[in-house]
């Protein structure tokens, strides 16, 4: 090496970059060493984070040494840092054409492809690198990241777990695994554990705290989630995802006004949008007060959609409509916002628009099952077999299974696929060809339809609701057995059910604490009989009034079988918004619904005492949120009139 160049190189190596740069520039005038100088000066300028200045020197070096892998790779790095993506990719490919098995080049090319969101190309490149260096955590980490971006979650999970098998505390692998697990709407114990570990490793990182709070939220640990999310906001008060998650957690606890304030705060974050800013929310030097376009599109929709839901819960229907319109103005393809709009329109009796919008659930996180066979569109075909498949809760199935007999009039064969607890009961009710469980092998069929799409397919309007009851039937042998078991009595027998599934988001509003039934028990000539099973039965130990209980209900006969037979021997059923109310309504039994202040489309608005789906149902609605006492006072007055008659 030229003596002066060697001295300049030693200065460079010592870390005195400014002096070394001056020496290199003077040496550019020496033609015999210009190639080496361009190479070293380009590398130095990369060190100084001046990639644009490095490019002409590295290009000159490549002209003199077109097969030099180090020079080509430095030039590709300079292109990358200068946002000249196509030239960066082309330069790495040129390098790989010379040395196809260079792991460093493959890794760097993959980094570029990931940076510009060309994830499949990155996977293709990294799949070449891994066999060449199977123990490289860095290569495997990038491979897992690219797979994650492609929603190939199980493959990404395997990558991160391989790294953690070698290095259990590898922070980025833990973060990758945690993010894969975070995609599940129901949090697993593993997900909670992973995010707890990440918080222990990075206790002041707002993004990690937010994700841990989100996992706790998804696992229904609302109190713990609130505490963690508030910690996130202590470190980053304007962190939009944490604000939205806290709003959701507060709503789950019934603290609707506080929740509404949080969503309004989130909406105000639109002012912090920046098209220049791009976030991956990992927390490495993140400016948490800024909001990039993709983040606003996601969380703006969430904030307005949740605000619409909260305003609806609070009875502010006009405000709810405005909020959901704003959500859809942000993203007209946002499925969850369309679903909220659907429920609002159905609530108003606008079935034409409501059912149409409700079809957006097929693109949501809780979409019904899909099959390779075509969807049934309502056509008449006597040679056709249609599979009707249930979705959502047991109450939804009991409400909408009435449509099966309409379908049967149009096609040759109908198979109903329902939740396992309902199979035996529905098999005894419907005049269809076959009833199977969701976990059974699927019988052959020509087309399928999701149960709650049938109002759309059959063009149900408010005036044409198929409200003929009974469409559900109790087993006559069990009805006779329960008639004997009840024994003759002059009392008015009232079956009661008070508690729904606690996993339902608004269960704390719809379920009625058993103590509120006490005024009914004090009416002479009234006997209360428990229809409650599972959740809520523990409340029977804490009351100071009589409720008759029968042992073994539905245990031998099967789910809902005894319950339906009991109802046929009762004078009245009183229930909260649960499957019990739907069962009584479908059986055509007199049923009183204890209806919360929350507006639910299937029960209509608070001004109506009758229900369009169940002619034998009366609705007793809260006039103010949480006021069950006045609901049961009105019920008690009506029940006294019944005893007097």
Q: At residue 418, what are phi and psi to the nearest 5 degrees? A: -130, 175
CB 123 within 8 A of CB 147: yes
The mean per-residue pLDDT over the stretch 291-310 comes to 93
**Average pLDDT over every residue of 537-547:** 92
At 573, is the secondary structure helix, strand, or coil?
A: strand
Element (H, E) at 25: helix 17-27
Position 44 confidence tier, pLDDT thresholds 50, 70, 90: very high
345/535 Cα distance (integer angstroms): 32
Residues 542-564 have a mean pLDDT of 92
Q: Which pLDDT does position 605 carry in this prediction?
A: 56
If you average pLDDT over residues 29-44, what whole number do you get?
A: 88
Residue 492, beta-bridge partner list:
526
For 202-350, where are the alpha helices, taking DSSP H only?
206-218, 222-235, 240-252, 256-268, 293-313, 317-330, 335-347
Evaluate whether 384 touches 407 at the Cβ level (below 8 Å).
Answer: no
The answer to whether residue 281 scores a pLDDT higher than 80 is: no
Residue 8 or 589, more confident = 589
Query: Residue 643 has what pLDDT?
Result: 86
Beta strand 572-575 with 381-389 is unpaired
**Going edge to edge, which strands form the sheet with 617-621?**
526-530, 492-497, 572-575, 591-595, 617-621
- pLDDT score, position 271: 85
C-alpha distances out from residue 82 to 51, 58, 110, 345, Å: 6, 13, 17, 51
Arithmetic mean of pLDDT, 535-549? 91
Nearest to 231, CA basis, from 247, 242, 241, 220: 242
Q: Is the whole model's pTM more than 0.75, yes or no?
A: yes
pLDDT over 50 at 495, yes or no: yes
pLDDT number for residue 505:
65
Q: How confident is the model at residue 365 (pLDDT cuts 50, 70, 90)?
A: confident
- pLDDT of 1 reads 62
Q: How far apart are CA 554 and CA 574, in angstroms?
A: 19
pLDDT digits (tens, 9 = 90+) for 172-200: 999 999 999 988 767 788 999 999 999 99
Over 80: is that where the pLDDT of 348 sits? yes
What is the maximal distance between C-alpha atoms in the chain?
A: 117
| pLDDT tens string 418-450 | 999 999 999 988 888 999 999 999 999 999 999
Please tell me the predicted confidence (pLDDT) of residue 327.
97
Are 611 and 591 a contacting pair, CB within 8 Å?
no
Tell me the per-residue pLDDT of 184-240, one tens digit each, with 9 for 90 and over.
767 788 999 999 999 999 999 999 999 999 999 988 899 999 999 999 999 999 999
Count CB neighbours of 332 within 10 A: 9
Query: How close are the terminal C-alpha atoms of the chain, in Å?
Result: 114
Q: What percent of the chain has pLDDT over 70?
A: 96
Write down the pLDDT at residue 286: 64
Q: Which of 52, 129, 117, 61 is nearest to 89 (CA)?
A: 117
Partners of 572 in the β-ladder: 494
Q: What does the mean pLDDT of the chain come to?
A: 91
What does the CA dihedral 139, 144, 236, 195 come to, rounded to 10 degrees? Answer: -110
Helix (H, G, I), strand (E, B) or coil at 296: helix
Residue 367 is classified by DSSP as: P
What pLDDT is attached to residue 604?
Answer: 66
Continuous H helices in 133-239 = 137-149, 153-166, 171-182, 189-201, 206-218, 222-235
- Average pLDDT of the residues in 463-472: 93
Q: How far is CA 254 from the centre of its chain?
A: 20
At 26, the pLDDT band (50, 70, 90 cuts) reads: confident
Residue 283 banded pLDDT, cuts 50, 70, 90: very low
**In the prediction, which pLDDT does 188 show?**
85
Q: What is the CA radius of gyration of the chain?
A: 33
Task: Collect all residues with Cβ–Cβ distance below 8 Å to 88 and sequence separation of at least 6.
Answer: 76, 77, 79, 80, 112
More confident residue, 86 or 1: 86
């Amino acid at each position: 090496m030229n003596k002066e160049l060697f001295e300049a190189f030693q200065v460079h190596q010592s870390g005195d970059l400014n002096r070394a740069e001056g020496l290199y520039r003077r040496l550019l005038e020496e033609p015999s060493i210009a190639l080496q100088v361009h190479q070293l000066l380009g590398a130095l300028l990369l060190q100084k984070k001046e990639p644009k200045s490095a490019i002409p020197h590295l290009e000159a070096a490549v002209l003199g040494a077109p097969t030099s892998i180090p020079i080509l790779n430095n030039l590709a790095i300079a292109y990358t840092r200068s946002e000249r993506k196509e030239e960066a990719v082309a330069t790495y490919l040129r390098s790989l054409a010379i040395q196809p098995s260079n792991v460093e080049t493959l890794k760097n090319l993959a980094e570029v492809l990931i940076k510009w969101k060309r994830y499949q190309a990155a996977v293709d490149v990294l799949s070449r690198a891994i066999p060449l260096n199977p123990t490289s955590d860095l290569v495997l980490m990038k491979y897992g990241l690219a797979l994650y971006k492609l929603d190939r979650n199980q493959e990404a999970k395997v990558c991160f777990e391989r790294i953690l098998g070698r290095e259990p505390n590898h922070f980025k692998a833990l973060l990758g695994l945690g993010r894969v697990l975070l995609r599940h709407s129901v949090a697993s114990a593993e997900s909670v554990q992973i995010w707890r570990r990440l918080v222990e490793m990075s206790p002041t990182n707002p993004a990690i705290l937010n994700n841990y709070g989100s996992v706790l939220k998804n696992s229904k640990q609302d109190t713990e989630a609130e505490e963690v999310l508030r910690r996130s906001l202590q470190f980053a008060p304007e962190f939009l995802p944490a604000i939205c998650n806290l709003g959701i957690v507060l709503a789950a606890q019934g603290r609707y006004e506080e929740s509404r304030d949080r969503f309004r705060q989130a909406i105000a974050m639109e002012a912090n949008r920046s098209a220049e800013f791009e976030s991956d929310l990992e927390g490495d030097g993140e400016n948490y007060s800024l909001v990039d376009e993709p983040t606003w599109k996601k969380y703006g929709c969430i904030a307005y959609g949740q605000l619409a839901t909260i305003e609806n819960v609070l009875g502010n229907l006009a405000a709810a409509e405005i909020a959901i319109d704003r959500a859809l103005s942000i993203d007209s393809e946002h499925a969850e916002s369309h679903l909220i709009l659907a429920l609002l329109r159905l609530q108003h009796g606008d079935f034409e628009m409501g059912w149409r919008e409700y079809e957006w659930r097929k693109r949501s996180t809780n979409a019904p099952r899909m099959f390779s066979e075509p969807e049934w569109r309502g056509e008449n075909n006597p040679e056709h077999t249609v599979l009707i498949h249930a979705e959502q809760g047991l109450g939804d199935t009991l409400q909408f299974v009435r449509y099966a007999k309409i379908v049967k009039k149009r096609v040759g064969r109908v198979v109903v696929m329902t939740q396992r607890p309902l199979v035996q009961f529905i098999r005894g009710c419907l005049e269809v060809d076959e009833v199977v469980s969701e976990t059974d092998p699927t019988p052959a069929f020509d087309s399928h339809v999701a149960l709650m799409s049938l109002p759309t397919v059959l063009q149900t309007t408010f005036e044409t609701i198929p409200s003929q009851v009974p469409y559900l039937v109790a087993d006559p042998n069990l009805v006779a057995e329960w008639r004997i078991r009840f024994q003759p009595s002059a009392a008015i027998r009232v079956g009661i059910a008070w508690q729904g599934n606690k996993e339902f988001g608004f269960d704390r509003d719809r379920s009625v604490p058993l103590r509120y039934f006490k005024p009914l028990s004090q009416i002479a000539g009234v006997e209360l009989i428990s229809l409650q099973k599972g959740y809520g039965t523990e409340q029977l130990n804490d009351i100071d009034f009589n409720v008759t209980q029968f042992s073994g209900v539905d245990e031998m006969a099967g789910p809902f079988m005894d319950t339906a037979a009991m109802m046929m021997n009762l004078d009245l059923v009183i229930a909260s918004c649960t499957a019990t109310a739907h069962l009584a309504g479908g059986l055509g039994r007199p049923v009183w619904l204890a209806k919360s202040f929350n507006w639910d489309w299937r029960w209509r608005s608070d001004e109506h005492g009758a229900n369009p789906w169940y002619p034998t149902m009366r609705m007793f609605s809260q006039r103010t949120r949480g006021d069950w006492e006045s609901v049961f006072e009105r019920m008690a007055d009506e029940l006294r009139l019944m005893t007097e008659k």
